[in-house]
Chain A
Amino acid sequence: MIYLELIWAFMQIGLFSIGGGYAAMPLIQHQAIDVHSWLTMTEFADIMTISEMTPGPIAINSATFVGIQVAGIPGALAATFGCILPSCFIVTFLAFIYYRSRGMSSIQGILNGIRPAVIAMIASAAFSLITMAFYGTRYIPADILDIDVIAVLLFLVSVVVLRKWKINPIAVMAGCGLLGLVLYLLFP
């Protein structure tokens, strides 16, 4: 039964990918190429590219894509369902525990300790995004001057706008997309 196979495969991906998209990639590859041969390596690379280009978590995107390739829209539903099922139970349970126990002083201490580390994680993600935007890679390249000037401009203007006027971030991102299109076409 193909739907059950999809649910089961993506349940494993959902259960074992801790830490988001980049952790999920090898698991998706394993299930969709090695175990089930639902995809070729080229199709897998395409899915990863499209996942990066479109909104949404990589695991959900690839579940939808693989599901459709294998068994149409019902297949996509089955794969997506399988993918989120572990999260539903585990995270709801953790939410329950968190709201029950966060008043306790020892839990308070632990949470206070974790918060600066979380800020560091988000800062690290910001750093990767900045180098992606400026250089097209996740790390600073050797030639630091080989930079995308338009991206730097869009970035600086956006930060100023966000800091100064508290504009809706979605509007800022969409604006950057359109302004970027115009600028890249004018100054290729």
Chain B
Amino acid sequence: MKDRIRKYLTLFSSVFMISAFTFGGGFVIVPLMKRKFVDELGWIDNEEMLDLTAIAQSSPGAIAVNASILIGYKTLGIPGAAVAILGTIIPPFVIISVISAFYAAFRDNRIISLIMTGMLAGVAAVVTDVVISMAGTLVRDRNIISITVMILAFIALRLFSVNIIILIVLAGLIGYIRQRAGR
């Protein structure tokens, strides 16, 4: 019982902290969650995190909220999902409520904008770090088809702005065919 309560508290405080610092959209939250729930707490394994990312990304709604629901559900079932949602939406709710009272001053404040500019470089570094770890695992496995899919998907996204849902469906289809072909 006590362990369970501690787990709820850890879940809540983890998603709360992550949500309070996720500048720059849904894909920033995934690396942060990976560092926390995969590397630090060990509640979720590497491949599972990628699966949950695919589900969060291709479901409707905010990616951060979707990812929290999935992690909460995995760790503590439906009550866990509810706790994770609360932890995720409280920080932006409070921050925006405060800012909306004097948002013109906030928007034009030079100090705040300089801090934000510096933080953006840090956010880019955090996401890059996780990409290096994830792609590194794939390269170490020497799985030529997976590496090819990764590179082609990257090109499709960057150069041709291919819709993410289409990409996930195609990649899933390739996986299905490979499985059927037994390789």
| CB of A157 to closest CB in B, whole Å | 8
CB distance from A75 to the nearest CB of B (A): 11
A33 contacts the other chain (Cβ, under 8 Å)?
A: no
Q: Which residues of A contact B112 (CB under 8 A)?
A: 53
> Given known contacts A80-B93, A181-B111, A181-B118, is B125 in contact with A116 (CB within 8 Å)?
no
Size range of the interface on A?
Answer: 35 or more
B58 with A56: CB separation less than 8 A: no
Are A113 and B176 touching (Cβ within 8 A)?
yes
Interface residues of A in 76-105 (CB under 8 A from B): 76, 80, 83-84, 86-88, 90-92, 94-96, 98-99, 102, 105
Known: A113-B174, A169-B31. A20 touches B63 (CB 8 A): yes
B7 at the interface (CB under 8 A from A): no
A18 within 8 A of B: yes
Q: Which residue on B lies nearest to A72, using beta carbons?
A: B97
Set of chain B residues within 8 Å of A50, measured between Cβ atoms: 96, 99, 103, 106-107
Q: A169-B32, A173-B126 are in contact. Are A129 and B120 (CB under 8 A)?
A: yes
Tell me the chain A residues, 125-163 only, with Cβ under 8 Å from chain B: 125-127, 129-130, 132-133, 148, 150-152, 154-155, 158-159, 162-163
The answer to whether A130 touches B128 (Cβ under 8 A) is yes
Contact between A184 and B118, CB atoms less than 8 A apart: yes
* Cα of A117 to Cα of B49 in the assembled complex, Å: 13
Chain B residues with Cβ below 8 Å from A132 are: 24, 120, 124
Q: Are B128 and A95 in contact (CB under 8 A)?
A: no
Q: Is there contact, CB below 8 Å, between B176 and A110? A: yes
**Given A95-B69, A154-B118, A163-B132, A170–B92 Cβ distance below 8 Å?**
no
Closest CB-CB distance, A176 to chain B, in whole Å?
A: 3
Majority secondary structure, A binding face: helix
**In the complex, which residue of chain A has the Cβ closest to the Cβ of B172?**
A110
Q: How far is the CA of A184 from the CA of B110 in the complex (A)?
A: 11
Check B59 against A184 for contact (C-beta < 8 Å). no
Interface string of A28-54 (1 = CB under 8 A from B): 000000000000000000100110111
Q: In the assembly, what is the distance between CA of A184 and CA of B116, in Å?
A: 11
Closest to A172 in B: B122
A108 to B175, CA, bound (A): 8
A19/B165 in contact, CB under 8 A? yes
Candidate in B27, B134, B135 with the most chain A CB atoms within 10 angstroms: B27
Contact partner, B150, options A15, A64, A119, A177, Cβ 8 Å? A119
In angstroms, how far is the closest chain A Cβ from the Cβ of B130?
7
CA distance A11 to B78 in the complex (A): 21
Q: A57-B65, A125-B28, A133-B121 are in contact. Are A92 and B126 (CB under 8 A)?
A: no
Q: Mark B138-154, 1 if CB is under 8 A from A, else 0.
A: 10000000110111011
Residues of B that sit less than 8 Å from A by CB:
17-28, 30-32, 35, 39, 47, 50-66, 69-70, 73-74, 78, 81, 85, 89, 91-93, 95-97, 99-100, 103-104, 106-107, 111-132, 134-135, 138, 146-147, 149-151, 153-154, 156-158, 163-165, 167-168, 170-176, 178-180
27 CB-based A-B contacts, threshold 8 Å: A22-B25, A53-B116, A55-B19, A56-B89, A57-B65, A58-B25, A61-B96, A68-B97, A95-B69, A99-B74, A108-B179, A111-B47, A114-B172, A115-B50, A116-B149, A116-B150, A120-B167, A123-B154, A125-B127, A130-B124, A132-B24, A151-B120, A154-B121, A170-B21, A176-B119, A177-B118, A184-B114
